[in-house]
Structure 1
């Protein structure tokens, strides 16, 4: 058993599977993406929830949390989107921590610089889960973590699979992250909702 598998096993036994994690029993729905002329992409028979409030198409996934084994490397589009919209903790699914400095987030790779328009697809966290995530998540533990409190975190775009309309039909261009005001976003099949992290104050998790 390798280190990552061992960590996964311990997390499952401790009941610490992140709320946004995808389970092996949750697979993409077998529904083809079709072209809607020059207005973008869609499904033949769309359902409520297939599009977000801005009209962007979302990937359909079976919802069966707890079925099978957790896939820590992937997120479930519905739960990630819900956590980002409602500012829920990505680990437990409860409200993220909020005080006068803003909502608490965790950002991996403490050694890198910050941009003015920092964008993330990782939902925020609550205080209780922040410490757990820092200890057990290999990415955060090995590369260090910044804990910013953010007063302004607008919904800025989506990440997913981009398509292009050609003479013979749709062509899949692969992964892309686009702002909501990008004209190409109507050809994106979204899988993650993105927020900008502005007006930030980095805090010490050991002192909060």
Structure 2
């Protein structure tokens, strides 16, 4: 067998996934909000804790420990969403010819109409690899391009205002940016509304 035929493409861990060594624990407190009510904060507040008016989950970005395909790193997921980066390679997912953004979703997530998603874009070059490495996507892959995406809300843990913020009363709840619960939430993922969705054919390489 020739070296070319024997070569095996190395597995790439997607840029967006979380790693077990990235988890951190930081104590939460309630702080007064201007005009009324309270909002969550970390005891040792830092610049960058809040984005789009919501407190984000703190994690380090060292990618230490083991890859955990059931989670994403909040900062990397947020970065991919906000900058239209590919969740696999962290390159741009914007098509250079059309200006549209490539997006890979599961066909059982909906009918492809305008809506919101917690899955970041996937660039055209990485789509075949992403499908081949995920058994669910091999059965249910749906490839789209979208004209634009705009922040819709977050998926996060919601606490009861005023009570000690030790245990959330709702986990992984979808909270819109216009929702009154936003100040009481620790965001794990940014949700984007995708606009002008067009189904495309998966590309092979």
Same fold, TM-score > 0.5, yes or no: yes
Q: Give CA-to-partner distance per residue, 1:149-196, whole Å, 9 cap, x none.
A: 100211111111011125x43461122111111121111100101101
Matches within 5 A, 1:1-208: 14-27=10-23, 29-37=24-32, 38-52=37-51, 54-65=52-63, 67-98=64-95, 99-100=97-98, 102-110=100-108, 112-116=110-114, 118-142=115-139, 144-166=140-162, 168-170=163-165, 172-175=168-171, 176-206=173-203
- For the 8 Å contact 1:101–1:201, the answer to whether it is kept is no
Tell me the TM-score normalized by structure 1: 0.83
Q: Give CA-to-partner distance per residue, 1:86-127, whole Å, 9 cap, x none.
A: 1100001111132426100011035843454x1111110111
Shift, 1:45, TM fit: 1.8
Separation in structure 2 between the aligned mates of residue 101 and residue 61 of structure 1, nearest angstrom: 32
The ranges of structure 1 where at least 4 consecutive aligned residues each deviate by more than 2 angstroms after the TM superposition are 109-116, 168-171
The structure that has the greater radius of gyration is: 2
Separation in structure 2 between the aligned mates of residue 124 and residue 151 of structure 1, nearest angstrom: 12
The 1:111–1:82 alpha-carbon spacing in structure 2 relative to 1, beyond 3 Å, is closer
Separation in structure 1 between the aligned mates of residue 122 and residue 113 of structure 2, nearest angstrom: 21
Separation in structure 2 between the aligned mates of residue 172 and residue 68 of structure 1, nearest angstrom: 26
Please list every run of 5 or more consecutive structure 1 residues that lacks an aligned counterpart in the other structure: 1-10
Separation in structure 2 between the aligned mates of residue 156 and residue 131 of structure 1, nearest angstrom: 28
Aligned residues: 191
Separation in structure 1 between the aligned mates of residue 147 and residue 12 of structure 2, nearest angstrom: 28
Separation in structure 2 between the aligned mates of residue 152 and residue 63 of structure 1, nearest angstrom: 28
Tell me the TM-score normalized by structure 2: 0.85
Separation in structure 2 between the aligned mates of residue 111 and residue 153 of structure 1, nearest angstrom: 17
Measured on the aligned residues, the alpha-carbon RMSD in Å equals 2.2
